[in-house]
Amino acid sequence: MSTAVSAREMTADSADAPLLQVRDLHVEFRTRDGVAKAVNGVSYSVRAGETLAILGESGSGKSVSSQAVMGILDSPPGFVTGGEIVFKGRDLLKVGKEERRQIRGAQMAMVFQDALSSLNPVLTVGSQLGEMYRVHKGSNRKEAKLKAIELMEKVGIPGARERVNQYPHQFSGGMRQRVMIAMALALEPDLIIADEPTTALDVTVQAQVMELLADLQREYNMGLILITHDLGVVADVADKIAVMYAGRIVETAPVHELYARPAHPYTKGLLQSIPRLDQKGQELFAIKGLPPNLLRIPSGCAFNPRCPMAQEICSAEVPLLFPVTEEDGTELPGRGSACHFWKEALHG
């Protein structure tokens, strides 16, 4: 695997190779109305034990890019049209279908947003959990069931021995999401992709589920990609963040720096639009306009029609993910901003 890590990616040191490295990924959807460019050159990396949060609004390409990584893109209409997905030294876009299937589930697993529609309503929870062992490990039914009970206990489902024979509708939302996490964990994967794992849950249950995910990640030293639109959840658990807008990563940074000193006007706008105590009764800062239609992404920087800092160059030239530095030129490891005026955004 290539050890050259460009400054555009988020890793600064290349001592130990990252678990997953996505390079210049392109995904498009060929629809009746035209080609929707959902992901336009996305690069990121995750190490073992690290949490990368991909933050974005609907249509930013955050889910599509991770579906491409998992190899579960609906195709057609979705097609990966370029890039590399290097997982443990191998480009997943070049391996065969059968091999990919074995990697999926065993080495990388996914937790979906909507647990109710991701579980099969006519099979017991136990048989769905056990299926992981039957298919990947060749266990018999009895072994698989014992394993399922063990897993359910691991993720904190009370009364696992009885509940293993119950159906998904007999579980509450939080418990169903625990089942999903148990399923993802079953084969002790190296990487978990969690796509909005707590969006459908209430705050008190969300706190339980996020704590569980974080504990398990620590225990197994897994890489975690957390896909979300919730700035609060990200601040709680992420190590580093990639902010996506219209299919591109517009900013990357370690979590503390992103919140303290954003270097892209979109990130800035998002952070400013959160209601804060000292703004009570005042107008909230709002990013004007609407997220773009992926069939007609604005020329140049996709954010330019909504950007308060936009100038002529912004509609003419697509900004690269520039490395972000201090005013005196000191490098800020892991930081990048796809804005022509990142200096003004960061220091201004």
Partner 1 sequence: MADGQSTDPEAARIEAAVEQPVARGTALLQVRDLKMHFPLTQGILFKKQVGAVKAVDGISFDLNQGETLGIVGESGCGKSTLAKVLMNLERATSGQVLYKGEDIAGVSGRALKAIRRNIQMVFQDPYTSLNPRMTVGDIIGEPYEIHPEVAPKGDRRKAVQDLLDVVGLNPEYINRYPHQFSGGQRQRIGIARGLALKPEIIICDEPVSALDVSVQAQVINLLGGLQQEFNLSYMFIAHDLSIVRHISDRVGVMYLGKMVEIGSDEEIYEHPTHPYTQALLSAVPVPDPSGREGRERIILSGDIPSPANPPSGCRFRTRCWKAQQRCADEEPLLAVPAVFLGLPTAAAHESACHFAEDVDIVGAG
- Answer whether the bond into residue 265 is a cis peptide, omega within 30°: no
Q: Is 296 in the site for partner 1 (CB under 8 A)?
A: no
Q: Is 235 in the site for partner 1 (CB under 8 A)?
A: yes
Q: Is 167 in the site for partner 1 (CB under 8 A)?
A: no
Beta bridge pairs of residue 30: 35
Q: Is 218 in the site for partner 1 (CB under 8 A)?
A: no
- Cα end-to-end span (Å), the chain: 40
Residue 242 phi, psi dihedral angles, 5° rounding: -120, 120
Tell me whether residue 97 or residue 280 sits nearer to partner 1 (CB atom): 280
Tell me whether residue 188 or residue 215 sits nearer to partner 1 (CB atom): 215
Tokens of 31: 């629809």
53: region left, alpha or beta (phi > 0 left; psi from -120 to 50 alpha): beta
C-alpha 189/C-alpha 202 separation (Å) is 27
Q: Is 284 in the site for partner 1 (CB under 8 A)?
A: yes
Tokens of 316: 């003419």
Beta bridge pairs of residue 21: 45, 86
Beta bridge pairs of residue 42: 25
Q: Is 57 in the site for partner 1 (CB under 8 A)?
A: yes
Letters for 176-215 (x = contact with partner 1 by CB under 8 A, - = none) are --------------------------xxxxxxx-xx----
C-alpha 18/C-alpha 30 separation (Å) is 32
Among 82, 291, 298, 305, binds partner 1 (CB under 8 A): 291
* Choices 32-40, 105-113, 282-290, 322-330; region in contact with partner 1 by CB under 8 A: 282-290
Letters for 252-271 (x = contact with partner 1 by CB under 8 A, - = none) are ---xx--xx--------xxx
- Interacting residues with partner 1 (CB under 8 A): 57-58, 172-175, 202-208, 210-211, 229-236, 238, 255-256, 259-260, 269-271, 273-277, 279-280, 283-288, 290-291
